[in-house]
Structure 1
Amino acid sequence: MEHPLSDSKAGLPGLPVLLLGGFVTLFDLFVVNVAVPVIQQQFNASFAGVGLIIAGYELAFGILLIAGGRLGDRYGRRRMFSYGMLAFALTSTLCGFAGSLWMLIVARFLQGAAAALLFPQIYALLRVLYGEDQRRRAFARLGMTLGLAAICGQVLGGFIIEANILGSSWRMIFLINLPIGVLAVMAARRIPESRLAQAQRLDVKGLLLAAGGLLLLLFPLLEGPSRHWPWWILPMTLVAMGLLGWFIQWERHLARHSGDAVLDPALFRQGHFARGTAIVLVIYSTASSFFLCFALLLQTGMGLTPFQAGSLFAPASAAFMLASFLAPGWVQRRGNSVLAGGVAIYAGGMLLLVVQVLMGKVFDAPLQLLPGLVILGFGQALSMTPLLNWVLGLAKEHQAGMAAGLVSTVQQVGGALGIAASGMFFVPLLAGGAERQHYARAFAGAMGYNLLAMLIALGLLLYTHYQLSRGD
């Protein structure tokens, strides 16, 4: 049974350690952006290699999120939070001591899996431990913490890399998680335990099918451009599609017989929710791809240091936090047209950056990129922050829990697939050389995918609004 602490004077017990868990998972998603150029240089890695460092974390995180939530429901959220935090600390240490690119990629997959065990417990514990007033304050602080983690991931991450503590270079951004994780596990013992009396079983077969299908789909998309699309790309992609088709059939079977399905395919027969999920996929596919390509442009193309590059990102993150704060009120007053406006602003900021990079003046004066970055960050928040709540509202009430898990998974998987899609343009355009003009064209080509994705999202948004206004 679950007993929220309804006394608003009781404070928020356990909140600092839960916020710390949320901070480290998002920090490690963003900090790698400023580290990627340094890692690429050390291991002489291709775009596919460094792309897998980011996409692997997102893919494992996204696929296993629902499983992590079910494990917490069944075996105890505090227990799984502690296990997840300890696993995150240990896998971060593996990342820090990785002796090769492939060791780092594997360690990042494992780190993403640990994050998937850790992160769902934070939302679940915030929901069940506190009364309504406390819960509102707790979630507000979590939102601020995640925004701060995004900024620190860029700025503090760049500072740590550049400080080269004990000659560790980029490795320290991972190694610092070990003492943090140990302290968090010790502090978590004070959090009350909670679990569901009749939790859903873990769908191991479904998870394996989804993981295998998405991994076999992602890998050829990343490796294809740099290897000039070898023969094995097509059969691997066909196997991936087969596994994903098998996954859908298996989930349909579970939904009919046991109710333990990770995904009920009936969700996609709800036209509005299906389109909303597609919008989440394409919008979130633009974020990680932008940060990766922009980090390579700034550090390898423009010659900025990790700290300089991270500091340049910071105003965009600050604009994101500001828009995230304003968005709920704007949506309440003006409706979901704010979403479409946010996508347009997001695209406008990205287009401005592309034009500036192609003109070439920013290579000698990088601060000229700030207006475009601020516009991009503001529009990104207006399009992303209210989007998830709107899409979840399109699902039927009895499927709300499954819909929330699916949308969270689609966010992460979209980020991973976006890296692969942008690489199909970035890699060929950079093949001619590593001069400034080549990086400018490669960045512009990759952002061409992002702009197309935003155009698709805008079209789907406007069409869905039109359908809803007619009552369809």
Structure 2
Amino acid sequence: MRGVLPVLLSAWFMAQFDFFVVNVAAPAIEHDLRAGPAALELIVAGYAFTYAAGMITGGRLGDRYGYRRLFVYGVAGFTVASVLCGLAPGAAWLVAARLLQGLAGAVMVPQVLAMISAVYPPERRGRAIGWYGAAGGLGSIAGQVLGGLLLTADVFGLGWRVIFLINLPVGLVVVPLARWLLPEADPREAVGFDLPGAAGLAAGLALLLVPLGLGNSLGWPAWTWGAMAASAPVFALTWWWQRTLAARGGQPVLDLGLLKVHSYLAGVGAIVAFMAYFASFMFTLTLLLQNGLGLTAFQAGLAFAPMGVLFTVTSLLGTRLVGRYGLVVVMVGGLVTALGLALLVVGAGRGLPYIMVALVLVGAGNGLVLPRLIGAALVEVAPHQAGIGSGVLSTAQQFAGAGGVAVIGAVYFAVAEGGHHARAMRWSAAIDLALILLVVAMVAYNRRRAVRKASAAGSRRGA
């Protein structure tokens, strides 16, 4: 099993890196390709649309055809799409390539968690999932820091194109290593694929994610509200079809059995709250640093570095601490993050040194929280549900991130009108604080369940 985890995590890191790095490169892309506002929004957010909309289907395909096969196909497709992004001669080409990149990510990413859940025994799975969370968080922060560094260095004179072309050598290494190192995972018995369910989920998510991603920049025109309203009947019809198909003995794209796993539902809720906070925090903090404090994109990226370092350190320590003390470590991490956010609520306008202290606390707390949230959600999920379970988790992450940026970003822009960026950061940090406290509450619920389960098991053994 040696080498399995680095191969899997390299793909996950790459997917998260590409999600965030385009924000740093957006001005250069706009200038070089003469991209209008709508095209630029699609270049930035189009990846998230197709990535989130296809994630559940990607997880189900892995359950059916085998995790290794889908992982290899996903990495190969992601690499090709990245090269197409880097070679884009115009904005329309880049938009199409980003949509393709998101679809490839939706095939690739669910297999990472699914293989970890299916391959690693329970006593080793927690550590592996901890590394998964750490790699995802580092990929997010590296998109801000490393992206700014690559653009400033202008590697090989490629400009913004290097942020996509850097995936080529990664893909050329990961694909053969995956075929060589990853264990063969037999597909489940052949059954018909739930195409109506997959299409309904994708359509419903698109009707929500597209207006959430574009609404702020377009001023929330009527069609954005109409699309979000239309998502409700689409989801209702899809839910009805899922229940009908399950009652007939078919295999719906959503495994309804997951809804009976209370720790999984609480884990999904915690991840939704965390990602809504985390994505919006990264977005609004960038606005504060660049528009409020006048830092360049590279300087703003460097301001995230201490948070990234603390995140890395506490992520590595957290696995051992959780193994010894349990989910109480995650709760402590959430409270440390809450303290950092509270500092911003009361003093976002006190200058960069004060903000950096708050960021150190936020990074340290996040490192104890994020890697363990995923493990806490999947602990009671059966191995044969690993693909769809991880697909739903990943979809929830992306949807929560897009929704958090849209809603909390709208609050920030409304308060910041007239140059009041510090006040806007205080308001957005207050919402983020409420979200992280909700995460702590969800984790406390799962901890109570774990304690009760361990106590019941001890009583049975004693009897």
| TM-score tier (shorter) | 0.7 to 0.9
How has the CA–CA distance of structure 1 residues 356 and 38 changed in structure 2, closer, same or farther, with 3 Å as cutoff?
farther
1:112 corresponds to 2:102: yes
Look up the match of 1:257. Answer: 248
Q: Residue 403 of structure 2 aligns with which residue? A: 417
**1:162·1:306 contact (CA, 8 Å) conserved in 2?**
no
Indicate conservation of the 8 Å contact 1:36/1:295, yes or no: no
Local SS of the residue matching 1:238: helix
- 1:353 matched residue in structure 2: 344
Matched, 1:323 2:314: yes
Q: Deviations over 1:146-182 (max 9, x none)?
A: 5654454333221111122354332210122234323
Tell me which of 332, 335, 349 is aligned to 1:344: 335
CA deviation after TM superposition for structure 1 residue 88, in Å: 0.9
Q: Could you tell me how far 1:270 is from its partner in structure 2?
A: 5.5
Tell me the distance in 2 between the aligned counterparts of 1:153 and 1:127.
27
Name the SS of the counterpart of 1:409 in structure 2: helix
What is the deviation of 1:74?
Answer: 4.1
Contact 2:86 2:161 in 1 (8 A): yes
Partner of 2:187: 196
- Distance in 1 between the 2:112 and 2:380 partners? 25
Q: Alpha-carbon deviations, 1:234-268, whole Å to 9, x = none?
A: 32222111111122112212222244223244544
Question: Match of 2:16?
Answer: 26
2:207 & 2:319 partners in 1: Cα distance? 38
Number of residue pairs aligned between Structure 1 and Structure 2: 452
Which residue number corresponds to residue 453 of structure 1?
A: 435
The CA distance in 2 between the partners of 1:322 and 1:285, in whole Å, is 23
Shifted more, 132-141 versus 266-275: the winner is 132-141
The answer for the alignment partner of 2:143 in structure 1 is 153
- Counterpart of 1:289, as a letter, is S
- Aligned partners of 2:71 and 2:108 also within 8 Å: yes
Q: Which 5+ residue runs of structure 1 have no aligned equivalent?
A: 6-11
RMSD: 3.8
Among 271, 290, 293, the residue aligned to 1:280: 271
Corresponding residue of 1:440: 422
Instruction: Write the distance in 1 (CA, Å) between the matches of 2:215 and 2:108.
Output: 33
Deviation at 1:214, TM superposition (A): 1.7
- Give, in whole Å, the separation in 1 of the partners of 2:135 and 2:258: 32
Larger CA deviation: 146-155 vs 316-325: 146-155
- In the alignment, which residue of structure 1 is the partner of 2:362? 376
CA distances 1:300-358 after superposition (whole Å, capped 9, x unpaired): 44343333322221221221122222334433444433333322221221232354433
Q: Which residue pairs with 2:375 in the alignment? A: 389
- Cα 1:334–1:131, aligned 2, differ >3 Å: closer, same or farther? closer
Cα deviation, 1:446-470, whole Å, max 9, x if unaligned, reads: 3343233234434555567678878
Change (3 A) 1:135 1:378: closer
Q: Give secondary structure in 2 for the equivalent of 1:286.
A: helix
Secondary structure of the structure 1 residue equivalent to 2:252: coil
Residues 60 and 256 (structure 1 numbering): CA distance in 2 closer, same or farther, change over 3 Å? same
- Supply the distance in 2 between the matched residues of 1:158 and 1:315 (Cα, whole angstroms): 15
1:233 equivalent in alignment to 2:221: no
In structure 2, do the counterparts of structure 1 residues 405 and 219 end up closer, same or farther at CA, with 3 Å as the change threshold? closer
1:419 Cα deviation from its structure 2 partner: 1.6
3-state SS in 2 of match to 1:285: helix
Which residue does the alignment assign to 1:8? Answer: none
- Distance in 2 (CA, whole Å) between partners of 1:107 and 1:442 is 35
Name the CA distance, whole Å, in 2 between partners of 1:329 and 1:30. Answer: 29
Contact 1:33/1:295 (CA < 8 Å) preserved in 2?
Answer: no
1:369-388: CA deviation from partner (whole Å, max 9, x where unpaired): 32211110121222322222
Percent identical residues: 38
Query: Superposition pairs for residues 284-299 of structure 1, below 5 Å?
Result: 284-299=275-290
- Report the residue type matching 2:269 in the other structure: A
**In the TM superposition, what whole-angstrom CA distance separates every residue of 1:369-419 from its partner, at most 9, and x where no partner exists?**
322111101212223222222233466898666444422331222212212
1:219-230 alignment to 2 at 5 Å?
A: 219-230=210-221
Gap change, CA 1:81 and 1:346, over 3 Å in 2? same
- Kindly tell me: are residues 320 and 201 of structure 1, through their superposed partners in 2, closer, same or farther at Cα, counting changes over 3 Å? farther
State the secondary structure of the residue aligned to 1:68.
helix
Corresponding residue for residue 91 of structure 1: 81
* CA distance, structure 2, for counterparts of residue 395 and residue 401 of structure 1: 10
Aligned partner letter, 2:204: G
Partners of 1:413 and 1:201 in 2: how far apart? 28
CA contact (8 A) 2:21 2:147 kept: yes
